[in-house]
Chains A and B, each alone.
Chain A
Amino acid sequence: MSCENIEPEVLEKMENIVVFMCNECGQGSANTAGVARMAYNPAIRIVRVQCTGQIGPIQIMDALSNGADAVACVGCCLGACHFFNGNVLSMHRIKLLKKVFKELGYSDQFVNQYTSRAAEGETAVGDFEDIVIRLATAIREEGTIKDGC
C-alpha cells in the first residue's frame, strides 16, 4: 500500500496532520528530506519540539480538539535520545492514550509515534507516508475523529 492508492475523497478529509518532531533526529531528518527535495503529503504540519519527551496527552488532545485529524510524534531512534529517554517516555504516554481511544470505541491510529535518523531524509518521509496510510484506513473504516466529537 502506498499513498498513491488512497482515494481522493479520503485524502480530502485529511486537512491537518500535526507531527511533533524532536529538534535532533526528527527535525534533522525532515531538514535532510527538505534539502533533497523529497515530496510528502501537504496535510502534514510539523511542530518542532526540543524532545518528544515534552509531548504528552495534553498537547496531543489540544491539537486534536483544535482541528487536527491525526497527531504523530517523531523522535530519535530507540536508545539514541539526545537527552536521556524522552522518546521512550512519550511512547508510554502515547500508548496509554491510544488505549483510551480504543476504550472509547475509536481507532487507535489517530495518534502514533515514530523514530527517524537525522542523516536519512527517507526515514522522515517514510514515517509521514505511514501516518497518512494508517489515517486513511481509519477514515475509511469509521470516519474522521471530528465525526465523533
Chain B
Amino acid sequence: MNSIATIENEIVNEFSLLDGDQEMTLYYLMELGQKLPALPEAARKEENEVKGCQSKVWLTARAEGNKMILEADSNTAITKGLVSLLVRVFSGQAPDDVLAAELTFMKRIGLDRFIGTQRSNGFAAMTKQIKFYALAFKTQLAGI
C-alpha cells in the first residue's frame, strides 16, 4: 500500500496531463467516479449520508486488521468522482495516518476552484467524516 502522500502525488500527476482545462478535468473526474463500484442500495441509507453536501454522498467504513476500508457513492457524477479520490487516498490506510493527513492534491490540481464553494465545502465534509471514522477505529483498536 502506497502512502497517502504518494497517492496524492499520483493523482496530481494524472490531472496535470489535462493542463488545467476545466471541462476535461471535470470529465476525467466523472470517469473516475464511474469506476468506483456503486454501493448496494442497503448501504445508501441516511446514517451513511455525509452531512453538509448538496449532493447525496454515502460513505461506509470498516476495519480490516489495522487498516480502514472505505466505500462510497453519490447521486451526482462529479461528486462521485470527488469521493472516489478520497477513497483512493484513504482506503487501506492506518487510522493514525488518516488522522495525520493534510490533503493538498485538491489545491495542487486547482480542483477547488473548478468545483466551486459549495462542492468544496462538501469535499471538506467528506474528509471530516472519514477522519471521524478513523478516530473511531483508532479508539476501537486501542481498546482491544
Bind each other: no
Contacts from B to A (Cβ < 8 Å): none
Contacts from A to B (Cβ < 8 Å): none
